[in-house]
Chain A
Amino acid sequence: MDFIEIALLIMLVICGISTCVTKNLLVSLIIFMAYSVIMSIIWAMLEAPDLAITEAAVGAGVSSILMFLSLKKIRDLKRKAEKDEETEI
């Protein structure tokens, strides 16, 4: 049990640091999802199953989806602006 816990904690720290260091936004969002899932497993090991379920549904699901959507929206807007500039020229 201790071994799994230590491995999970090390993976948590690695995920947290690499989320902040990665240059590509999409990659860092995916790593953030992994971070949330590992966090929910750790909460299940800390005898807080309510938190584990909520974090898995909310942190890894909904808030990551919102971030993905805003990233997609930003890319769409960028593409639209480029297209507008092309048609103007």
Chain B
Amino acid sequence: MKRQRFKTWLSQWREDRFDWTSETMGELHPSAPQAQPEDDAWRDRPVRRLYEGELKFFRSTFSYMAAVLAFVMIFFLLRAVVEMPNFGSADSPASTSPVIKRYIEDGLKETGAVNIVAGVILDYRAFDTLGESHVLFTASVAVFILLLQTVPEKEKERERRILQDDLILKKTAQVLIPLLVLFGIYVLLNGHLGPGGGFSGGAIIGSSFILYSLAYGPERLSSLINMKTYRAIVVSALFFYSLSKCYSFFCGANHYETIFGPGTPGAIFSAGLIMPLNVAVGMVVACTMYGFYTVFKQGRL
């Protein structure tokens, strides 16, 4: 009996007919509170009179309390700032530690990345970035659980009609989108040679997707990014990241020969695994940004 129910539930999920909202929230649209005659007396009764009085007092003194609290907090935090080293001084403990010396002086030789920040976040501290990509993935899963719902066909039709009218947006998008995608790919691939990297490049590509979806409607993009491809891209990127980082830590910690050496500094195919990892992170970030947007906009991917 239970097994049968589980099977139907699973099949619903597979065919994307599963309605998340009814499962997570109980009722779908409690738009108008059902007016039942026996509940009228309950509605008029004041709830916790004292609490409402407190509330009124709080609202009347809100701005003063806010200002006082802000000043108290600023005072205590400034007391802490007094003890800290001066802004921009070279002899502060944070800037003279041997870790920083090692990063700057040996970073280029050890990782091959011209941009030391990329070398730090994707080579020395790569587990940090791995955890962060998983945070993004978890957040997108949470947003999908909270906001995915089935949208009636009429609503889609209305949105499409509104979107087809906007000529200015369409022409602007026609000019901007190729430039945005190109710039995003440049930032993504040049993460180890200059400022940029996976996060910023992925965010730029994701925002170009958002602009496309704003101008031409989400239907054309949904063949490129839908639930299936989203899952495939993100999971394979995270899997690739974990696997390659395991490989590099294994080889580096045991002093084995790696096939991804530092290479010549400044070349595009250099710096070992940093560029593929940047691409993986960028794909995760781009898909997640676009996924956030579509789920917030229309409740489906």
Contacts and interface: CB of A to CB of B under 8 A. Distances in A.
Interface of A: 48-50, 52-54, 57-58, 61-62, 65-66, 69-70, 73, 80-81, 84-85, 88
Given A53-B187, A53-B195, A69-B296, A84 B31 contact: yes
Given A65-B210, A81-B32, A84-B31, A57 B292 contact: no
Contacts of A80: 31
Interface of B: 31-32, 115, 117-118, 187, 194-197, 199-200, 203-204, 206-207, 210, 289, 292-293, 296-297
Contacts of B31: 80-81, 84
B32 A88 contact: yes
A61 B206 CA distance: 10
Contacts of B206: 62
Nearest to B214: A65
Given A81-B31, A81-B32, A84-B32, A50 B195 contact: yes
The 5 A-B pairs of least Cβ separation, nearest first, read: A49-B195, A57-B203, A53-B200, A69-B296, A54-B200
Given A54-B200, A57-B200, A73-B296, 9 more contacts: A50-B115, A50-B117, A50-B195, A50-B196, A50-B197, A53-B200, A58-B203, A65-B207, A69-B296
Nearest to A84: B31
A88 B31 CA distance: 12
Given A81-B31, A85-B32, A69 B203 contact: no
A50 B200 CA distance: 8
B296 A70 contact: yes
A75 B290 CA distance: 22
User: Which of B115, B195, B210 counts the most chain A CB atoms within 10 A?
Assistant: B195
B293 A66 contact: yes
12 contacts: A49-B194, A50-B200, A53-B196, A58-B200, A62-B289, A62-B292, A65-B210, A66-B292, A66-B293, A69-B293, A69-B296, A69-B297
A73 B194 CA distance: 39
Contacts of B292: 62, 66
Contacts of A57: 200, 203-204, 207
